[in-house]
Amino acid sequence: MKIITAVVKPHRLDEIKEALQAFGVHGLTVTEASGYGRQRGHTEVYRGAEYTVDLVPKIRIEVLTEDADADELIEVIVKAARTGKIGDGKVWSLPVDTAVRVRTGERGPDAL
Amino acid sequence: MTESVDAQDSSYAAARLRLLNQEAQSGPPRRAALATLTDQWLASLATEAAEATGTGGYALLAVGGYGRGELSPRSDLDLVLLHEPDGAKSIAALADRIWYPVWDLGLALDHSVRTPAEARKTAADDLKVQLGLLDARHIAGDPALTSALRSAVLADWRNQAPKRLPALHEMCQERAERQGELSYLLEPDLKEARGGLRDATALRAVAASWLADAPREGLEEARTRLLDARDALHLVTGRATDRLALQEQDAVAAALGLLDADTLLRQVYEAARRISYASDVTWREVERVLRSRESRPRRRGLLGRAAPRAFGGGPATPTEQERVPLADGVVELEGEAVLALSARPERDPVLPLRAAAAAAEAGLPLSIHAVRKLAAAARPLPVPWPAEAREQLVTLLGAGESTVPVWEALEAEGLITRLIPDWERVRCRPQRNAVHRFTVDRHLVEAAVQAAGLTRRVGRPDLLLTAALLHDIGKGWPGDHSEAGEVIARDVAARIGFGRADVETLAVLVRHHLLLIDTATRRDLDDPETVRMVAETVRDTSTLELLAALTEADALATGPAAWSTWRASLLEDLVTRVAGALDTGALPDSGDRAPTAEEERLAIEAARTGGPVLTLHAETEAEAEGEAQDEALGVELLLAVPDKPGLVAQAAGVLALHRLTVRAADLRSFDPIGEGPVALLSWRVSAEYGALPEAARLRTDLARAFDGTLDIESRLAERESAYPRRRGITPPPPRVTIAPGTSQTATVLEVRAHDAPGLLHRIGLALAAAAVTVRSARISTLGANAVDAFYVVGKDGNPLPESRAREVAKQVEAALR
């Protein structure tokens, strides 16, 4: 199993949810997050002085998946999240030891 | 022996099960039947145990809810085993023989074993034990033991009431703080929340103290309703829970034979409102009684009399001396806002709103007698409402936290729905939404409370507060609630007397109250199309700032999940971008308007005589409606005087001395006959306590103020110390901003502050101290908020440089704090 984490622009959430649903993913976790990447926030000019907004609002999406689906899922998310502009975000995956469905106690891939 | 006891236990368990599964019986009869059944079982357990252990001199008591004979399916059995001091040896064995069978049946047991003296001592130390014992009921053993303890405990309670009732009140308040309010919460705790079963029990305890009693109308029905809901909840969940969680609500409603969960919640809310209103009134009454008991001995000492003066006749009684005026027809008496002796609700249709606004502003509750008198006697307001009614509503909405109890009091006596009939639809209406924590009506009031903290951000606080109150008024109608809400909001806004342009703005605010937050969190803000779409919808910056403040107030009122720095930053980003895309929209400079013939006549006379010239017109709004009215609602005052620095401060100071409140003002300056500029001030003022100003005295005082022979400062200070005003609420601090690019000829300073006597006088002083000249001004008071624009120039007659303008703004702001 893998966990895929995506940190992306907030307004892409609806598209990503639709794309994931079309792919057959039925569960995900969404968190409001802020941060910056290589673009180091964005720079704005206010009353002649340049200042940097260093923490940009993002959303963080987490999806648990089976190993075999991970690469394709990442592609699906990336495609849905892309606007082509700076600050589109990042997607990564990590291996997961175990997962348990709380209600039934099912473990492993059955719990997904 | 053991066998027969076991057989008894299982037959009790079976009977209990039959009773709970018997659909024909529910509500109070079932609770009573369950208590009786349990009594019989426990009595036989105790009797047999006493025989077996050879114990005498004991009694088994039910306390708390069980003591009242009200057992819910999963309620604890609250038991006290009472014994004579010398019977201590065998009592432990006796207790075992009672407690163990209870435990064996899996019932929750709350038990104690005490001598009567110990029981009294514990009750004295622990309020909860005391409350439980007030309802003690004999089950088995020696009835004399029980009745002796009951009488002793009740006597103790009555004797110690002055000390213990305040402690009980404090306990109730803490619990309310922790648990929230049953009347508004979407997943309420039927027992612990404010207005819940524990509060109902506390009211019984107050009544048992003989110190005060609750208004009883509907109270018992309300309590029964909550108990019924709890029974159903226990049966549905199979647990001893009191929290009506979303997931249980449908099943509980079905078990009670109700249509759906919404119907259930509405009933629960109605019941809780009844109980919490009764609690509010009762606790205030307790405080009043205790205060008068405290002060009586002292006064006796002071006056050398045995008793306070009798009613009627003679000089003012002490209570009359304590009447502090709050507004026309409203006074403060013993920590409550009450109607003045001179108030005539049957002739004064604005009185309910005026009394409510005055109470909220002073941070006081509105007395139940006042509300009832108003509900019984007050006539309906004419439609559209007169200006004063609208302003009082805005003042009431703008008072912050203290708005809520006053609103609740009006609501409890049906005054709100009388004022705004559309309120009925949202009253007690639950919302099926995980983000919301309140009912629709409470959410709307809460939004106004939150908006009151944001009034300095907008040019029209009255529209912000009204929009906050109305933004979800469309809930409960089919279709999109924003669309339905727009239609209703138009209606209500016109009804309460807003002009056509304001009605339009309110309609836009209600229709689009979700536009900003939806766009900010779901659309690409870098896309110019997003910004263009929002800009086209809101049309101008003043609507944008209103909508932004409304968005924040709405979110803050919704629940903790609806507002975060994350959301705030997205919203701010959107608003900044949209503001950049909108025209800043120039304020019309009132100095540009040509004077009327009357103004010109006054100005010429002022220029000739070199002194102030004024005319007074009483406003005749009510006469136009064909209504008999003794007092004028407001006065138009036109004043012309040769222009000189400090004029605004002096004129405003004299008005404040005459107890005139400035509702609106307009100042311009022009040169009528080429002999120097004349300032022309047109005021709309209202008298604080209804009495009209005398033109002659006003003229004399103005003349003295302008030639410097009237010391306004010390006269105002004198009056302030003679009639200290109540501290009341803490409004948001004043704010002075520079309106961007609005005038070519002057710098526009916008002052936003909480209105107070002499405010304009202080602003005038601050402007004079900053050495700027006021060329023209537009003053408006919207509810309790003053929004004043001053067009000022420097000594050279030109607009101030930007850095200087910022400095002046800061200086004025500091002077007003």
Q: Is A97 on the interface with B (CB under 8 A)?
A: no
Q: Domain-by-domain residue ranges, chain A?
A: 2-111
Q: Could you give the C-alpha distances from B559 to A18, B433, B450, B650, in angstroms and in order?
A: 27, 11, 12, 48
Smallest Cα distance from B566 to chain A, Å: 6
Task: Answer yes or no: are the C-beta atoms of B54 and B90 closer than 8 Å.
Answer: yes
**Chain A residues lying within 8 Å of B521, measured CB to CB:** 10-11
Residue A57's pLDDT is what? 87
What mean pLDDT do residues A84-101 have?
91
Give chain B positions within 8 Å (CB) of A34: 565-566, 569
Token pair 């019932």: residue: B107
A10–chain B Cβ distance below 8 A for any pair: yes
**Helices in B562-694 by DSSP H: which ranges?**
565-581, 597-609, 621-624, 647-657
pLDDT given for residue A46 in this prediction: 47
A13 touches B at CB < 8 Å: yes
Q: Using a CB-CB distance cutoff of 8 angstroms, which residues of chain B are in contact with residue A57?
A: 566, 569-570, 573
According to CATH, where is 3.30.460.10 located in chain B? 2-141
Mutate to test the interface with B, among A31, A32, A47, A88 (most CBs of B within 10 A): A32
**The pLDDT value given to residue B686:** 80
CATH architecture of B441-585: Orthogonal Bundle (1.10)
Do the chains contact at A11 and B569, CB–CB below 8 Å?
no
CB contact under 8 A, B569 and A57: yes
User: Topology of domain B163-296, per CATH?
Assistant: Four Helix Bundle (Hemerythrin (Met), subunit A) (1.20.120)
B526 vs A: CB within 8 A: yes
Nearest chain B residue to A58 by CA: give it: B566
Parts of chain B with a pLDDT under 50: 1-2, 298-321, 586, 588, 590, 621-632
Closest CA to B234 of B255, B260, B262, B264: B255
Round the CA-based radius of gyration of chain B to a whole number and report it: 33
**pLDDT at A42 (0 to 100):** 55
Q: Considering only the beta carbons, identify the residue of A32, A34, A83 that sits closest to B524.
A: A83
E strand or H helix that includes residue B637: strand B635-642
DSSP B416: H
**Is A85 in contact with B526 (Cβ distance < 8 A)?**
yes
Give the residue from chain A lying closest to B563, CA to CA. A32
Q: Is domain A2-111 given the CATH code 3.30.1540.20 in the classification?
A: no
B811-815: Cβ within 8 A, 24+ apart: B811/B766, B811/B769, B811/B770, B812/B736, B812/B749, B812/B751, B812/B763, B812/B766, B812/B767, B812/B770, B813/B734, B813/B735, B813/B736, B815/B762, B815/B763, B815/B765, B815/B766, B815/B769
Mean pLDDT, chain A, as a whole number? 86
Q: Tens digit of pLDDT for each residue in A7-51?
A: 999 999 999 999 999 998 888 999 999 887 766 655 554 444 455
The pLDDT value recorded for residue B223 is 94
Tell me where in chain B the CATH 1.20.120.330 domain(s) lie: 163-296
Residue A103, chain B, CB below 8 Å: the answer is no
Q: What is the reported pLDDT for B781?
A: 87
Confidence at residue B631, expressed as pLDDT on a 0 to 100 scale: 43
Pairing between β-strand B109-114 and β-strand B77-83 as defined by DSSP bridges: parallel
Instruction: State the ipTM, two decimals.
Output: 0.74
Answer whether B639's CB lies under 8 Å from B681's CB. yes
pLDDT at A86: 82
pTM of the model: 0.81
CATH placement of domain B2-141:
3.30.460.10
- CA-closest candidate to residue B728, choices B327, B441, B290: B327
Amino acid at position B200, single letter: A
Nearest-by-Cβ selection for A10 from B521, B564, B565? B521
CA atoms of B552 and B568, how far apart (whole Å): 8
Mean pLDDT of A56-84: 93
